[in-house]
Structure 1
Amino acid sequence: MFYEIIKPRVGETDALGHINNTVFPQWFEAARNPIFKLFNPDASLNLTQWNLILANMTIDFHVPLKFGKDVEIKTFVKRIGNTSLDIYQEAWQDNVKYVSGTAVMVHYDYANKKPQPITNEFKQKLHVHFFRT
């Protein structure tokens, strides 16, 4: 599991004082950076080297999250397939889970415009961060 601490900003709130629902995809993407670095150690966005693409994302809102306290994003690997993986994430504040979501990332070859297999080496690195209930 990976942890990321987010400090909510005033501009991320809505008229009700809740963190706006459009913010969580951005926070979750930022918290996936350690997984991106497993696949791309130099963190380059060079398309000849970058090899992940977002295929799907779902977000479930459990409780409105408020401004004023840090938010902990927990990131897990939930499934590893042949060419894709599911990344499960949760947003916590004061030991309460407020938001959860899953992103399906495809291991992608941009030069040939097609998915590529996830190697056993990467599968082993990813399995260390597997979601356990």
Structure 2
Amino acid sequence: MFVQHIEPRFTDTDALGHINNTVIPVWFEGAREPIFKWFTPTLSPKEWRLILANISVNFLAQIYYGKTVEIRTSLSRIGGSSFTVFQEVWQDGKCCANGEAVMVHFDYKKQKSAQIPDDIRAQMQQHLKVE
């Protein structure tokens, strides 16, 4: 599991005084960076090898400005060319949101999915969430 700490910004809040729902997918994307590096170590868009196929977010509790947030990232499924990233937002010892992102290893030249290489698959296995 990867863990990232975020200090919510004032601009992340909404009129109701909590973190806006649109911010969570942005935080989740940022916390997927270690996974992106497995496929594109330089993070260069010219070498990019992933596409996002689907995202979902479940809002479980309000998240507040002025308190550190912890993003926990793991994998819940590894397929032949795609995988599912599972993420959670924790604040004050409580899971406030969770979600999934389906990512596809993609060959942009051929415009089709590609098998996940064995060396990357081995790294992925280390972060597979056990139920």
Does the TM-score normalized on the shorter chain lie above 0.5?
yes
Q: TM-score, normalised by structure 2?
A: 0.97
CA distance in 1, matches of 2:72, 2:130: 12
Q: Which runs of 5+ in 1 are unaligned?
A: none
Q: 2:6 is aligned with what amino acid?
A: I
- Where in structure 2 are the equivalents of 1:91-106 lying within 5 Å? 91-106=89-104
How many residues of Structure 1 are paired with residues of Structure 2 in the alignment? 131
- Where in structure 2 are the equivalents of 1:29-68 lying within 5 Å? 29-46=29-46, 49-68=47-66
Q: Which runs of 5+ in 2 are unaligned?
A: none
Q: Helix, strand or coil: the match of 1:104?
A: strand
Post-superposition offset of 1:45? 1.2
Q: Structure 1 segments of 4 or more deviating over 3 A? A: none
Equivalent of residue 79 in structure 2, options 66, 76, 81? 81
Q: 1:130 is aligned with what amino acid?
A: L
Partner in structure 1 of residue 6 of structure 2: 6
Q: CA RMSD in A?
A: 0.8
CA distance in 1, matches of 2:61, 2:111: 39
Q: TM-score, normalised by structure 1?
A: 0.96
CA distance in 2, matches of 1:10, 1:20: 10
- Where in structure 2 are the equivalents of 1:19-34 lying within 5 Å? 19-34=19-34
